Amino acid sequence: MRSLATAVSPAATLAALLLAALLLAGCAVPIVSESELESESGKQFQEMRAQMPASTDVRTRAYINCVSSAIVQQLEKPYVDEDWDVEVFESEDINAFAMPGGRIGVFTGLLAVAENQEQLAAVIGHEVAHVTQQHSLKRVNREMTTRAGVIAGTAVLGGGYGVGDVLSMGAQIGLSLPFSRANEVEADTVGLNYMAAAGFNPAESIQLWKNMGRKTKLGPPQFLSTHPSGDNRIQELIQQLPEALKIYNAAQAAGRRPACQK
């Protein structure tokens, strides 16, 4: 029987050493780049499309695309220039997400809670804000650094794994983790401004989370499994409203008045 030392290929050992060096430098240099994360999220998005039915309701798809387009037009560069891909999944789950690389997914079950275009805009604005604030990218690199020993060991023991394979593995791990409380608060604030700039009344975000709160009495919907809710969140949104309403009033004066039909 060969020893472990002779069983491991020099290439795998080199990959582990290179990865370890990257991990140790993680505080100064991103381990996973934005383009690498976009590539991995693209794969996951297509897998979802292959595994889940898309809505065939033309009116619902047009409605969600209308709201999404209005939000995207208010994003900063380079995100406003991306060709955003919006998919509507036929599912009773109350859920929505946005992914690096310009991808938005909305489950039709969300429309039972987001009762009008403003409330839907609050959700989409929030999710898109996670992308523009690079929360997934920061989370991936933080997680890669935290798991440095395990990940580097995997590169050695896996034999065939190279640095690219392990970075892809780290991106997969990072994309599946919930956002931090600080990320959620920032996404609420930034998303509120996006919806206001698009001409959606930001005050409707309060009613949205009240609707969400009523759902939790029957068991938390999937959307809330990684999103904090409750009175504290509503109070934080109320504190943000004066500034958001200024943005909304300016948008209205500029003629931005979305009329997305549900």
* pLDDT value, residue 168: 56
In the numeric block, the tokens 């297509």 are attached to 46
* pLDDT value, residue 146: 62
* pLDDT value, residue 198: 98
Q: Side-chain half-sphere of 18: how many Cα atoms within 13 Å? A: 14
Cα separation values, 13 from 10, 71, 127, 146, 245, Å: 5, 47, 39, 20, 57
Looking only at the bridges linking them, the beta strands covering 103-107 and 96-99 are: antiparallel
Cα separation values, 119 from 35, 42, 67, Å: 31, 27, 10
- In one letter, which amino acid is 235? Q
Q: CA 127, 68, 123, 94 torsion: positive or negative?
A: negative
User: Could you tell me if 32 and 174 are in contact, meaning their C-beta atoms sit under 8 angstroms apart?
Assistant: yes
Q: Could you tell me the pTM of the whole model?
A: 0.79
* pLDDT value, residue 38: 85
* pLDDT value, residue 5: 39
* pLDDT value, residue 61: 98
In the numeric block, the tokens 């100064």 are attached to 28
Pick out the chain residues at pLDDT < 50. 1-29, 149, 155-164, 219-220, 222, 224-226
Cα separation values, 160 from 9, 31, 128, 153, Å: 8, 20, 36, 12
User: Could you tell me if 51 and 91 are in contact, meaning their C-beta atoms sit under 8 angstroms apart?
Assistant: no
* pLDDT value, residue 155: 46
* pLDDT value, residue 189: 93
* pLDDT value, residue 29: 47
Any idea which residues carry the catalytic annotation? 127
* pLDDT value, residue 147: 58
The span from the CA of 210 to the CA of 78, in Å, is 34
